[in-house]
Amino acid sequence: MTILMVFDFDHTVVDDNSDTWVIKCLPGQTLPDSVTNSYRKGHWTEYMGRVMNHIGDQKISHDSIRSVMETIPFTAGMTDLLTFISENKNTIDCIVISDSNTMFIEWILKASGLQTAVDQVFTNPAKFNESGYMEVQCYHSHDCQKCPINLCKRRVLELYLSKQADEGVEYERIFYVGDGGNDFCPTACLREHDAVMPRKGYTLEKLLARLEAQEGSTSPLAKVIVWSSGADILQELKASI
């Protein structure tokens, strides 16, 4: 019996949005209006493809992009939390489910030396093509009407838990840590003794509070524990071990 920690990445593990942080590698750190105005709600990954095409057009090197990504700040207390998880892998499994991409997350975790804390990352695949441009693909297709077209985090978590169960791994408690609207759907996977941990002041906390206030609404079964720093999460985690 072990504990599962599930993390969002942007504005959760790191204290910014990795997809918008990459713009810092551009001259003037700005995108042209033609790219900025091309975003359509629910189609973020396609938009990021256009962002990375523009960065490629500017002949920004791979190393320059990576160097910029490695400067993104971690959320307060998060490095201590991830260090604790990496030191207790016999009792804690840890996964990341994110709408960022494989390259950004890998670069950021490796630069901090914290990659050993994370067992698996579920995010949009990214690679550099033959022309030197980064390509970002959708993680999967799904039929959930509540989530962006490229990623339903509930579906990812359900499949992960099912595969773990097939291998004889049952989790005593699951902590889901996130901040955004797309972190609401996976809370449906959680049980009464699990915990959904929304970041204070962010969209997920507001969604959960609004649901709780509505009569007849279906709130998550899990306990809601609001956090402001990684220290809050670490305190809850230690209390469960």
pTM for this prediction: 0.95
Is 8 a known active-site residue? yes
CA dist., res. 171 & res. 155, Å (int): 18
pLDDT for residue 212: 82
Tell me if residue 225 falls in helix, strand or coil. coil
Contact 145, 153 (CB under 8 A): no
CA dist., res. 136 & res. 214, Å (int): 39
According to DSSP, residue 224 is labeled E
Each of the 241 residues of the chain gets a pLDDT tens digit; together they read 699 999 999 999 999 999 999 999 999 999 999 999 999 987 888 999 999 999 999 999 999 999 999 999 999 999 999 999 999 999 999 999 999 999 999 999 999 999 999 999 999 999 999 999 999 999 998 999 889 888 999 999 999 999 999 999 999 999 999 999 999 999 999 999 999 999 999 999 999 998 888 766 666 789 999 999 999 999 999 999 8
pLDDT for residue 43: 87
Q: What angle do CA 104, 20, 6 make, to 5 degrees?
A: 50
Contact 237, 84 (CB under 8 A): yes
CA dist., res. 69 & res. 142, Å (int): 29
CA dist., res. 225 & res. 212, Å (int): 13
Q: Which of 8, 183, 194, 232 is catalytic?
A: 8
Instruction: Work out the number of other CB atoms within 10 angstroms of the CB of residue 138.
Output: 17
The 3-state DSSP composition of the chain as helix, strand, coil percent (nearest 5) reads 45, 20, 40
**CATH class in words for 2-240:** alpha beta
Contact 12, 178 (CB under 8 A): yes
Contact 10, 98 (CB under 8 A): yes
